[in-house]
Amino acid sequence: MKAASKVPKNADQKVVDGFGDEWARFDQRDLEDSELQAAFDGYFKIFPWEKIGATAEGFDMGCGSGRWAKLVAPRVGKLNCIDPSERALSIARENLSGHANCSFFCYSVDETALSQSSQDFGYCLGVLHHIPDSLSGLKSCVRILKPGAPLLVYLYYAFENRPLWFKLIWKVTDPARRIVSRLPYKIRYALSQLIAALIYWPLARTSRVAESIGLNVSNFPLSYYRHRSFYTMRTDALDRFGTRLEKRFTKDQIFTMMSESGLESINFSDTPPFWCAIGYRKTI
């Protein structure tokens, strides 16, 4: 275990601390099992479970509270949960206390203790867009995979599959995110919760009503949350507006990074959240 004072490699310490605060505040224990499963299915829709045996060993890079690990661990032999925040790892340990096959490592994506070419699978969801060098982090994930092993990644998309007005809404709100994310934690937390209550909830519920009368809401702002709880909206509003380092990538950019990192047979999910992609480490 690394010393608490050591600055993690290829990580912004304020971002690491922020996620520690986030998972301590929203440890996901209040999330309904059905909602967790629905979110999990969205991310793992393209994951090749049929190629993963019951004795497989893999990694959850940037495990946070362990919410995804909770559903992966019962299906595999060993799951290595990695996160640069000791505070987040303490939450994950509690949430995964019933899974003896989980191990925990306090490292950043570029300094993991796992051996190269040792893992049968891996996933890194919502992490690479929050680190200084996303390509380097992706390469680090690939290096610890066995040849032919799959890696599932999720990175924030650049709205290239959305109409112009949708992109303009993001351009208007992003400066507010940049300001809020640099405020002291208590203030940015309070503001994020106001945003969840005054923006996320009304828009999400409006899209739910619109869907119920037969309208297509796929491009409606925050329609992704129309079947999500307010707890999830509060969590994601803090994530979105409370994180100071955020990058967005087009599908083509992600494909290029995955290829340069040594992945092949790359495939993207065609449903939200965007972009989820699967690739396999090139065989020697």
Spatial contact of 19 and 109, defined as CB atoms under 8 Å apart: no
User: 253: closest CA among 173, 148, 135, 150?
Assistant: 135
Tokens, residue 58: 């893999």
Spatial contact of 59 and 93, defined as CB atoms under 8 Å apart: no
Tokens, residue 204: 């999400």
Distance CA 60, CA 47 (A): 13
HSE (CB half, 13 Å, CA atoms) of 92? Answer: 31
Distance CA 282, CA 268 (A): 17
Tokens, residue 26: 């929203």
- Decide: helix, strand or coil at residue 23: helix
Number of DSSP helices (H) and strands (E) in the chain, helices first: 10, 7
Tokens, residue 136: 């380097």
Pairing of strands 276-281, 263-268: antiparallel
pLDDT of amino acid 6:
65
- Decide: helix, strand or coil at residue 197: helix
User: 93: closest CA among 77, 76, 106?
Assistant: 106
Distance CA 226, CA 231 (A): 13
Distance CA 177, CA 195 (A): 11
pLDDT of amino acid 2:
43
pTM, to two decimals: 0.94
pLDDT of amino acid 8:
82
Tokens, residue 92: 């994950």
Residue 43 zone, left/alpha/beta (φ > 0; ψ -120 to 50; rest): alpha
For 177, residues 6+ apart whose C-beta sits below 8 A from its C-beta are: 240, 241, 246
- Decide: helix, strand or coil at residue 198: helix
The burial of 49, by beta-carbon neighbours within 10 Å (0-12 exposed, 13-18 middle, 19 or more buried), is given as exposed
Distance CA 156, CA 99 (A): 30
Return per-residue pLDDT of the chain as tens, 284 residues: 444 446 788 999 999 999 999 999 999 999 999 999 999 999 999 999 999 999 999 999 999 999 999 999 999 999 999 999 999 999 999 999 999 999 999 999 999 789 999 999 999 999 999 999 999 999 999 999 999 999 999 999 999 999 999 999 999 999 999 999 999 999 999 999 999 999 999 999 999 999 999 999 999 999 999 999 999 999 999 999 999 999 999 999 999 999 999 999 999 999 999 999 999 999 97
